[in-house]
Amino acid sequence: MDFSLSAEQRELTEAATAFARQELNTDLGKHEDAGEFPREAWRACARFGVQGLPVPAELGGAGADIVTTTLVMEALGYGCRDNGLLFSLNAQMWSIELPLVIFGTPAQQQAYLPGMVSGDLIGAHAMTEPESGSDALHMRTRAERRGDHYLLKGIKQYITNAPVADVLLVYAADPDRPGLAGLSAFLVDAATPGIAVSSSFEKMGLATSPMGEITLHDCLVPAESRLGPEGAGMAIFNSSMEWERSCLFASVAGAMRRQLEACVAYARSREQFGQPIGKFQGVSGKLADMYVRLEAARSLIYRVAWLKAQGRSAPAEAAAAKLFISEAWVRSSQDAIQIHGAWGYMKDAGIERDLRDAVAGTIYSGTSEIQRVVLARMLGL
């Protein structure tokens, strides 16, 4: 594997970092305190081309390869302090856009992808339910065939982007086909009669990423809204999760780099007992650990991206990357607060935000516990 960047990749990542610093951090504290979705920042990302990175050029996207896309997302995480905005972007790109690219019909792709690329449409991935998170086998949302339509009934919970979404990718089970073979996916306009979406939940972190509940009450959708064939829901879901676990945490690696640089600068400037605190082993050891976590995270991400670029499936590598990086970010965020001391614990410092945001990474896209189960099974256990 060649880890060197091409001139084009270097130029693009530098531009992405500069763009993020200039346009994506405005009024972050205000948006976070109010739990507001930064729509103008979302549109700015679309103008820069973020949402279009993994989308083919003929559908309005950039058609960037996965390695380049990963590098750009890492650069955004480095320059942008709004982890919630980046999470919402990643949620749409990997769990809505990519399934449309891979499984969508030309009509479905034309209906939704250009709008998502331009920032005019926002997508939400509706899988999780009150009684069914990782356990898709016990999904209660139903899709009953009614001639050339389906009748959808059920509740989806903890859905990222739901309160602001224009289109929903809803997973539902056929009551006449038990098991995962009866699971299908449907592209549903949020304005469809029978759909009710809650206001955004108040969360520990990722405050600018809206999350809500979707209720489908006798929601009638045409058969051409089904994504892929009947019973392909689990294949679509697994594909989207592999892509999400492969690419979402590139932004986290960028955040970890930003975090480390801030800690090093503080350790050099803050003095106690007549010398910079970075001279004390208790502090320098934490910085060394943060560096190792960052470099390991980047290596995992780049390897998965390289495998995907070769057209190879990488479920184990993606699960390992997701597991390690999500937990590494939590530990490094704790170290960052400890290095900054009382100031790091203050909200105004902006240091504690990363810890609040990082905890969610051990839960979304499959909990750490689920990733360990996945890896153990692949080891033959």
**Model confidence pLDDT, tens digit, residues 292-303:** 999 999 999 999
Does residue 244 have an active-site annotation? yes
What number is the average pLDDT over the span 355-374? 95
| Mean predicted lDDT score pLDDT of the chain | 95
Per-domain residue ranges for the chain?
7-122, 125-231, 248-378
Q: Can you give the pLDDT at residue 121?
A: 98
Burial class (CB in 10 A: 0-12, 13-18, 19+), 289: middle
For residue 177, what pLDDT is reported?
A: 86
Average pLDDT for 138-164: 95
Task: Taking residues 248-273, report their average pLDDT.
Answer: 97
The pair of three-digit structure tokens given for residue 313, joined into one six-digit string? 């499936």
Burial 148-169 (b: 16+ CB within 10 A, else e): eebbbbbbbbbbbbbbbbbbbb
Which is catalytic among the residues 244, 271, 295, 369?
244
Say yes or no to pLDDT of 134 above 70.
no
pLDDT at position 99 over 80: yes
Residue 160 has pLDDT above 70, yes or no: yes
Quote the pLDDT of residue 17: 98
Domain 125-231 in this protein, CATH class: mainly beta
The pLDDT score that the predictor gives to residue 133 is 72
Q: Which pLDDT band holds residue 313 (cuts at 50, 70, 90)? A: confident
Question: Does the structure show a pLDDT above 90 at 179?
Answer: no
Rg (CA), the chain: 21
| Residue with tokens 């959808």, as numbered in its chain | 152
**pLDDT confidence of residue 142:** 95
- The answer to whether the CB of 182 falls within 8 A of the CB of 231 is yes
Give the pLDDT confidence of 195-206 residue by residue, as tens digits.
Answer: 999 999 999 999
- Looking at residue 137, its pLDDT comes to 72
Give every CB contact of residue 361 below 8 A, 6+ residues apart in sequence.
Answer: 249, 252, 325, 326, 329, 330
**340 closest CA partner among 351, 332, 329:** 351
CATH ID of 7-122, from 3.30.200.20, 1.10.4160.10, 1.10.540.10, 2.70.98.40: 1.10.540.10
CA distance 220 to 186: 11
44 CB neighbour count, 10 Å cutoff: 19
* Of 160, 267, 258, 156, residue with least CA distance to 216: 156
The pTM is what?
0.95
Ramachandran class of 283: left when φ > 0, alpha when ψ lies in -120 to 50, beta otherwise = alpha
Q: Is the pLDDT of residue 11 over 90?
A: yes
More confidently predicted of 1 and 81: 81
Which pLDDT belongs to residue 1? Answer: 63
Q: Which CATH architecture has domain 248-378?
A: Up-down Bundle (1.20)
